[in-house]
Structure 1
Amino acid sequence: MSRQAEFDAASQAYYQSQVDISASLLERVASWWRGLSPQRAAEGSPAVVRDFQALVSSSRSRSYAEGVKFHNMAREAATGEPADDSLWDDRDLSAEAGQSRTAYYVHTAPVRGAIKRGRLDDPEFLAELDDIMSSAGKNLADDAGRLAELGGRGALADARENDPEVIGYYRKTDADPCGFCAMLAARGAAYTETRNSSRSTRAFVSEEDPDQYHRNCHCQTLPLFRGVSMPPEDAAKRAEYLARWNATDGSGAEQLRNFQRDFNAERKARRDEQ
């Protein structure tokens, strides 16, 4: 197998691992949530929050390990050598737990508000409360998936910052990206060395952070090394999105707004038809 083929296979395997980790966590959080009464969910006791934190933490650790594994596989495919363990900063487990705790209280706020204003002996209110619980549980599970995937994304961000063999990065999108992720993918290879920066890369709004991700986003910011290039499927997506970018009116921030507005409108229309 060629170096490029090994790199392509490693990239796809890493992406799929993150999708699988997120999907598995969503199922486990949904199952756990169904076992909570509205009163217990609203109370948000330390024990309940710890249960949620544990679910997220286990998946985030798996995601992180997959990120380290992928970087080593991709680097070895390109250079013949894996990375040194010193590339990765120590994880801030306290901060990660804090993110999960915040997510819990943010997404259960509607349940707390409902219980404060309603009567638990009112059938109409109980039906409304069921809907609120369902919505809160979905939002909480979706955000848990995002937090879990930050494990792998964080590992790759550390390696990108600390590994001198990384010459750049690119955005690999999921099957149905938002306008922001499509814009980042349209940039193609964003090189860390100024002398390698291409005109098409510089044409984009440079301050956009490649490590921004929303709920239900499986996009990844993947490293590039000398001797390998973007996998063919990612290069094809880049060409598709770049063509759309070049056909979008405006320049700079205005072009960015127009691109995301039109892209997201088409995305919503497709989803509404399903």
Structure 2
Amino acid sequence: MSQQSEFNAAGQAYYLAQVDISESLLERVASWWRGLSPQRAAEGSSAVMREYQALVSQSRSRSYAEGVKYHNAAREAATSKPAPESVWDGRDLAAESGKAKASYYVHTAPLRKEIQRGRLDDPEFIKALDEAMQSAGRNLALDAGRLAESGGRDALAEARENDAEVIGWYRKTDADPCGFCAMIASRGAAYSDYMEPDQFHAGCHCQTLPLFRGVEMPAEDARKRDEYLVRWNATEGSGADQLRNFQREFNEERKQRREAAEQSVMADQ
């Protein structure tokens, strides 16, 4: 297998591992959430919080390890040598725990508000409470996936900062990226100050991957870069205005595709 083929394979394996980590955690958090009563979920006791933090931490650990594994594999494909251990700063477990706690309270805030609003002997209130519970669980699970994938993203960010062999990086998008990620991807390895390479939303599986001398961006990612760049160049405006227009138009098309896909599924049922 050639250097380029090994480099490409390492990136694809890492991407798929991250998707699996995120999606698996989403299922575990959803299952755990179904075992909570609305009152217990809204209260967010220390016991409940520890359970949620443990779920996130376990997946984030796996993600971080995958990030280290991938960087070494990609670097070795290009340079024949893995990175030294000093490239990685290591995880800040206290900070990770704090982020999980903040995520919990942010996404359960509507549930707490709803549970204080009505009476448990009111059927209409019970219905609204069930809907609030489902929405909070859905949003919490999605954000748990984002926090988990941050493990690998953190490992790669540390390597970008500390590994002199890294000559650049690029955004590998998932199958249905948002306008922001598509805009970042359109730049290839060229970034400017307003394009944060480590900004990701819940449900996003895009990745910021390193480049080394001796290898090129995988052909699939280069094709997407070119596709998004054509769209960017055709977008009206300049600077921040062009950025807003690009994201608005891209996200509107994305929304229409998703709605059409949902309608198609419903029609087939």
Does TM, scored on the shorter chain, surpass 0.5? yes
Task: Single out whichever of 245-254 and 75-84 deviates more from structure 2.
Answer: 245-254
Counterpart residue number, 2:77:
77
Counterpart residue number, 1:234:
221
Counterpart residue number, 2:11:
11
CA offset at residue 248 of structure 1?
0.8
Counterpart residue number, 2:44:
44
Counterpart residue number, 2:266:
none
* Pairs within 5 Å for 1:116-265: 116-190=116-190, 206-265=193-252
Cα distance in 2 for partners of 1:90, 1:153 equals 12
Deviations along 1:173-192, one digit per CA (max 9) or x if unpaired, are 000000000000000123xx
CA offset at residue 134 of structure 1?
0.3
The one-letter amino acid of 1:179's match is: G
Cα distance in 1 for partners of 2:238, 2:227 equals 19
Deviations along 1:190-244, one digit per CA (max 9) or x if unpaired, are 3xxxxxxxxxx6xxx5322110000100000000000001011101100100110
Aligned length: 261
Cα distance in 2 for partners of 1:137, 1:82 equals 40
SS in 2 for 1:61: helix
Cα distance in 1 for partners of 2:141, 2:78 equals 37
SS in 2 for 1:83: coil
Deviations along 1:57-88, one digit per CA (max 9) or x if unpaired, are 00000000000000000000000000001100
Cα distance in 2 for partners of 1:249, 1:269 equals 21
Cα distance in 1 for partners of 2:128, 2:249 equals 35
With structure 1 as the length reference, what TM-score do the two structures score? 0.94
Query: What is the aligned-residue RMSD (CA, Å)?
Result: 0.8
The one-letter amino acid of 1:270's match is: R
Cα distance in 2 for partners of 1:81, 1:237 equals 29
CA offset at residue 90 of structure 1?
2.2
SS in 1 for 2:167: strand
Task: Single out whichever of 248-257 and 153-162 deviates more from structure 2.
Answer: 248-257
Cα distance in 1 for partners of 2:90, 2:150 equals 14
SS in 1 for 2:116: helix
SS in 2 for 1:224: strand
Matching of residue 267 in structure 1 with residue 250 in structure 2:
no
Counterpart residue number, 1:196:
none
Counterpart residue number, 1:54:
54
Matching of residue 104 in structure 1 with residue 112 in structure 2:
no
Cα distance in 2 for partners of 1:26, 1:90 equals 25
The one-letter amino acid of 2:163's match is: D
CA offset at residue 128 of structure 1?
0.9
Cα distance in 1 for partners of 2:168, 2:116 equals 52
CA offset at residue 137 of structure 1?
0.1
Cα distance in 1 for partners of 2:113, 2:139 equals 16
Task: Single out whichever of 5-14 and 118-127 deviates more from structure 2.
Answer: 118-127
SS in 2 for 1:207: coil
CA offset at residue 30 of structure 1?
0.1
User: Structure 1 runs of 4+ off > 4 angstroms?
Assistant: none
Cα distance in 2 for partners of 1:118, 1:109 equals 16
Deviations along 1:8-55, one digit per CA (max 9) or x if unpaired, are 000000000000000000000000000000000011000000000000
Counterpart residue number, 1:31:
31
Cα distance in 1 for partners of 2:207, 2:231 equals 21
Cα distance in 2 for partners of 1:186, 1:206 equals 15
SS in 2 for 1:117: coil
